[in-house]
Amino acid sequence: MANNNPLAETTFVQSGDTRRSAKISRETISAIAVAVLCVVLLLGARFVSPSLGSWSQVETVLILGSFLVVLSFGQGLVILSGGLDLSLPAMITLGGILATNWIGSSDPGAWYLLPIVLLVCAGVGFLTALGIVILRVPPFIMSLAMSIIVSSALLGYTKGTPRGAAPEMAIALMKGSVFGLPAPILFTIGFVILGWLIQSRSIFGRYLYAIGTNVEAARIAGVPVFTAQVLPYVLSATCAGLVGIMLVGYSNGATLRMGDDYLLPSIAAVVIGGSSILGGRGTFLGTVGGALLLTTLGTIISAIGLEFGLRTIIEGAIVLTALLLLREELFQKLGSLWK
Amino acid sequence: MTGAVAVAGGEAVPGAALELRAEGVCKSYGATVALEHADIALQAGEVHALLGENGAGKSTLVRILTGAVTPDAGRMYLHGAAYTPHSITDARAVEVATAFQELSLVPNLSVAQNLLLPRLASSRSGLISRADVLAKGREILLRHDLERIDPAAEVARLPLSDRQRIEIARAAENAGRVLILDEPSASLAETDWLFAQVENAKARGVAILYISHRLAEVRAICSVATVLRNGRSIATVDLDDASDGDIFEMMVGHRVDPARPAARSTSGPREARVAVTDIAGSELNGVSFDLNAGEVLGVAALEGQGQRELFRCLAGVQKPEAGEIRIDGRPASYRSPRQALRFGSGVSYLPEERKTEGILAGLSAATNVVLPFLPRISRAGMVGQGREVSAAQDAANAVEMNPRYLTFPIGELSGGNQQKALMARTLASGAKTLLLFDPTRGVDVGTKESIYAAISAFADEGGSVLFYSSELPEIVQLADRCLVLYGGRVFESFSGEDINEQRLVAAMIGHHDATGQEATR
């Protein structure tokens, strides 16, 4: 090297790359935040009314929350894959009405009809998916249309007044207890574990993340795109049908509007739980937190004794606020504070 | 900060006006430190190169200079005044314009609209006149020697190279003071047009920052270079005084042995693994060739000669309109990359556009690597990150990717590491035929060598490789045989010692080397 080489004065810093990556992901922060908020709300509610925040109150929240947990699992899968399912209310009603009509309380031997009810729901979800994946109808239009078709068909089928009573199995599921614990809570715990395995640990779950991120890149990477796009709608419809059966067991009967109040919460639980509404991001545990948070809120609001209309307005406002607060920037901020 | 950074660039060209200066800028994304400490000073009328390995922080520095990202700390001055752009538009308002590596054009708008964005020509009524827009677009194209491009054409329908030219022309048009070119030649097969644009801007007294991995190019057009390593600016050097070895040393921290690997033995019995007969499509006009086991077949071509379609047909992404593809002697009946991967001995594809066809940004690098063969590594349909990382480990080693990166979301990695991960995926898929479209695009010297080594090793073990490259030295170094595509046909093919840059270039522009006659097309 010549003396006037500019490199001569250059001292090299160590060549090891010492930069780090964020250890805590956006989804984790969200799940933790939602869980903490849940507990704070339950404890805080004690100051409003001493009866709140007790163990029995927690039990009520968990039982009521089980509907939303099951429902938002399906919705979460659809959203993860980059879609949206607006047919859930109709599918809940379908599940509930078929269960009361076909099985009823009189024939305990007809348990085998329950899986058939779920299969019918899955079939309807499959049709929705075909419209979206093959005919390329935008998800919200296709699922909304299917929702209207199913609701109208049910109206015709029941002639406006659903008959029948809750099947014993559904009642046992929602009202029974095992080892002193309420059956619906045990069921929900099992469901959450299964759901977590499917979304975060199964090959199918990985495929959903992939197609929700970028369908074209996923196709080139060898992901079975068709299956991965269709299956979430099938599962979502099945979960909604199951929620219908659970609701029937809980309230001893089906109505034509039994699913109406669940659409926005099913989407809100997913988004509050940290998932991206555009797909490709999110965890089921976050969604479970979101579902429980929404249920806690609902319980507290009704315990305070507000009118139903007012209650809905407050719920809507809280959901909107949560969505605004939980946007991307907040997580970047939190992530940078963490290091 | 160790204070070990030597900056000699400030006074590199005596008398020239200092145009844009950044001091001690740094930027972290969450806990990921992308840029730790960078100093750079650009002079008016000077072309300044920014060099560094993948992940050294080049893109981040560029994003800071262009206002796309606000630095966490550090100061910037433009013409002596503080320069704190909060957006790309802010930067452009003070005549700092950028041609981005990942092009920033709006695909469904016309060429003219893209050239004029964000301010489309509007009349007094406030409405936009289509005719005005087209006329202004045509003017800009003319000013940048691109009159062959139709200003009314939809950008999405143009080949990548023309999109890149439009991106560059738009930046040059808006750059009154500073022009930043981030990998401007990545999709261009020849640089004459690009260099003319740079010289033009230079003559106007614009300060130019030129980011490229191609050192020959940098030497041809730049006078000063700043080297980044691991997020720090290591030095600014006069390019006339620094040898290639000096620069490599600054980039990687140790000397790179420039010796090329010995030519692979190409003898031995072979069988045709891929046989292509007369396939045709919108850009292909009948291409036929055989690819044997243990062979590396290069494809050389100017942009838009049908190579993209050829690779997509072979990969199962699209179907050829005519002709036949046979894999292991069987007609290829696959209709998706997934089926191609499982057809016969398997065909695996490394796509052209990393961002839109390659990576899945939110997923970890390990998941990105193992995605095509998840069932193989799962237990009862279940996978976890640990399983994925250990399955991706070997492939990552094969391309010398730091295994630490495997757990990171791939979108947070640098372009070069993303490319390594995709290369690792292609290698690890288990397919015996690899289709590699520009496997080293936007990749630094060290990474290139490891990718070359991985390709050679794959072929030595009996694998077949078809690869397209926009860099001829790569084809000369790697290919056992080389096809030159021109106008959607195989114009000429070379093998062994006959593969050299001069002959390839001649064939690429449609000259038969032996006779010198012009191709009839």
Question: Is the confidence at residue A231, as pLDDT, over 80?
Answer: yes
The reported pLDDT for the residue numbered B508 is 75
B263 assigned to some structural domain: no
B284 and B425 in a common domain: no
* Average pLDDT of span B478-502: 85
The reported pLDDT for the residue numbered B1 is 36
Q: Which residue has the higher pLDDT, B16 or B241?
A: B241
In total, how many domains does chain B have? 4
Model confidence band, residue B120 (pLDDT cutoffs 50, 70, 90): low
Q: How far is B388 from chain A (nearest CA, A)?
A: 11
pTM: 0.73
In degrees and rounded to multiples of 5, residue B138 shows phi and psi of -60, -40
Q: How far is A115 from chain B (nearest CA, A)?
A: 24
The reported pLDDT for the residue numbered A326 is 63
Pure H helices in B29-129:
58-65, 88-93, 111-116
Q: Which residues contact A58 (CB under 8 A, 6 or more apart)?
A: A42
Model confidence band, residue B215 (pLDDT cutoffs 50, 70, 90): confident
Pure H helices in chain A:
26-48, 55-80, 88-98, 113-133, 139-158, 168-175, 183-196, 203-213, 215-220, 225-251, 263-272, 284-304, 308-325, 328-338
Are A214 and B360 an interchain contact pair (Cβ–Cβ within 8 Å)?
yes
In angstroms, rounded to a whole number, what is the distance separating the alpha carbons of residues A15 and B232? 10
Question: Is the confidence at residue A232, as pLDDT, over 90?
Answer: yes
B320 and B420 in a common domain: no
B14 and B81 in a common domain: yes
B143 and B86 in a common domain: no
User: Which one, of B66, B88, B146, lies nearest residue B112 by Cα?
Assistant: B146
* CB distance B234 to B228 below 8 Å: yes
- H helix or E strand, kind and range, residue B238: strand B232-238
B399 and B337 in a common domain: no
B136 and B78 in a common domain: no
Greatest mean pLDDT range, A49-63, A145-159, B123-137, B412-426: A145-159
Q: With an 8 Å Cβ cutoff, is A204 touching chain B?
A: yes
B238 and B222 in a common domain: yes
B1 assigned to some structural domain: no
Question: ipTM of this model?
Answer: 0.81
Q: Which residues 428-447 of chain B have a CB within 8 Å of chain A?
A: 429
Hey, what are B486's tokens? 């021109």
* Average pLDDT of span B335-344: 91
In angstroms, rounded to a whole number, what is the distance separating the alpha carbons of residues B287 and A286? 53
- H helix or E strand, kind and range, residue B273: strand B272-280
Helix-helix angle A284-304:A26-48, to 10 degrees? 20
In angstroms, rounded to a whole number, what is the distance separating the alpha carbons of residues B412 and B405? 10
Are B55 and A17 an interchain contact pair (Cβ–Cβ within 8 Å)?
yes
Task: Supply the mean pLDDT for chain A.
Answer: 83
Please count the CA atoms within 13 angstroms of the CA of B33 that sit on its side-chain side. 16
Beta strands in B293-412 (DSSP E): 296-300, 322-327, 330-331, 347-350
B351 assigned to some structural domain: no
* CB distance A222 to B337 below 8 Å: yes
| Residues above pLDDT 90, as percent of chain A | 45
Helix-helix angle B160-174:B130-143, to 10 degrees? 90
Model confidence band, residue B466 (pLDDT cutoffs 50, 70, 90): very high
Q: Which residues 220-279 of chain B have a CB within 8 Å of chain A?
A: 229-232, 234-235, 237-238, 241-242, 246, 249-250, 252-254
Model confidence band, residue B124 (pLDDT cutoffs 50, 70, 90): low
B383 contacts on A by Cβ (under 8 Å)? 201-203, 206
B302 and B224 in a common domain: no
Size of interface A-B (CB pairs under 8 A): 161
Q: How far is A337 from chain B (nearest CA, A)?
A: 8
Task: Supply the mean pLDDT for chain B.
Answer: 82
Of B430, B446, B474, which residue constitutes the final position of a domain? B430
Question: Is the confidence at residue A339, as pLDDT, over 60?
Answer: no
Range of the domain at B465: 272-346+431-521
Q: How far is A219 from chain B (nearest CA, A)?
A: 7
The secondary structure of residue B84, as a DSSP letter, is -
Q: Which residue has the higher pLDDT, A152 or B233?
A: A152
CATH number of the domain that B303 lies in? Answer: 3.40.50.300
Question: Is the confidence at residue A323, as pLDDT, over 80?
Answer: no
B279 assigned to some structural domain: yes
Picking from B6, B249, B315, the nearest residue to A9 by CB comes out as: B6
Domains of chain A: 26-31+52-327 (1.10.3470)
Q: How far is A121 from chain B (nearest CA, A)?
A: 25
Pure H helices in B399-508:
415-428, 445-460, 472-478, 501-508
Are A222 and B237 an interchain contact pair (Cβ–Cβ within 8 Å)?
no
Model confidence band, residue A338 (pLDDT cutoffs 50, 70, 90): low
Instruction: Give just the sign of the alpha carbon dihedral B163, B112, B69, B93.
Output: positive
The reported pLDDT for the residue numbered B13 is 40
Question: Is the confidence at residue B2, as pLDDT, over 60?
Answer: no
B301 assigned to some structural domain: yes
Are A204 and B381 an interchain contact pair (Cβ–Cβ within 8 Å)?
yes
The reported pLDDT for the residue numbered A147 is 95
Q: Which residue has the higher pLDDT, B267 or A94?
A: A94
Q: HEC profile for A46-75?
A: HHHCCCCCCHHHHHHHHHHHHHHHHHHHHH
B441 and B504 in a common domain: yes
**Which of A310-314, A327-331, B149-153, B450-454 is predicted with the least confidence, judged by mean pLDDT?**
A327-331
In degrees and rounded to multiples of 5, residue B511 shows phi and psi of -105, 135
Digit-coded pLDDT (tens) for A255-284: 998 998 899 889 888 888 888 888 888 899
Digit-coded pLDDT (tens) for B498-508: 887 777 877 87
B311 and B197 in a common domain: no
The reported pLDDT for the residue numbered A22 is 47
The reported pLDDT for the residue numbered A10 is 33
B300 and B241 in a common domain: no
* CB distance A227 to A36 below 8 Å: no
Question: Is the confidence at residue A13, as pLDDT, over 60?
Answer: no
Picking from A6, A201, A216, the nearest residue to B235 by CB comes out as: A6
Model confidence band, residue B55 (pLDDT cutoffs 50, 70, 90): low
Model confidence band, residue A229 (pLDDT cutoffs 50, 70, 90): very high
The reported pLDDT for the residue numbered B381 is 84
User: Which one, of A311, A275, A269, A271, lies nearest residue A290 by Cα?
Assistant: A269
- Strand B481-486 relative to strand B296-300: parallel, antiparallel, unpaired? parallel
In angstroms, rounded to a whole number, what is the distance separating the alpha carbons of residues A151 and A265? 19
Q: Which residue has the higher pLDDT, A88 or A109?
A: A88
In angstroms, rounded to a whole number, what is the distance separating the alpha carbons of residues B443 and B423? 12
B4 assigned to some structural domain: no
Digit-coded pLDDT (tens) for A168-185: 888 888 888 888 889 999
- Coil/strand/helix, residue B306: coil
B519 assigned to some structural domain: yes
In angstroms, rounded to a whole number, what is the distance separating the alpha carbons of residues A79 and A69? 15
A281 contacts on B by Cβ (under 8 Å)? 362
* CB distance A323 to A276 below 8 Å: no
* Average pLDDT of span A314-327: 72
Q: Which residues contact B520 (CB under 8 A, 6 or more apart)?
A: none
- Strand B207-211 relative to strand B47-52: parallel, antiparallel, unpaired? parallel
Residue of A nearest to B32 (CA): A21
Beta strands in B357-411 (DSSP E): none
Q: How far is A203 from chain B (nearest CA, A)?
A: 6
Question: Is the confidence at residue A27, as pLDDT, over 60?
Answer: yes
Q: How far is B195 from chain A (nearest CA, A)?
A: 27
Q: With an 8 Å Cβ cutoff, is B363 touching chain A?
A: yes
B484 and B514 in a common domain: yes
Of B430, B449, B477, which residue constitutes the final position of a domain? B430
* Average pLDDT of span B415-430: 90
B371 contacts on A by Cβ (under 8 Å)? 206, 210, 218, 221-223
Are A6 and B8 an interchain contact pair (Cβ–Cβ within 8 Å)?
yes
Model confidence band, residue A69 (pLDDT cutoffs 50, 70, 90): very high
Of B218, B252, B286, which residue constitutes the final position of a domain? B252
Question: Is the confidence at residue A59, as pLDDT, over 70?
Answer: yes
Choose from A3, A4, A13, A202 for mutation: most chain B CBs within 10 A.
Answer: A13
The reported pLDDT for the residue numbered B31 is 60
Are B241 and A201 an interchain contact pair (Cβ–Cβ within 8 Å)?
no
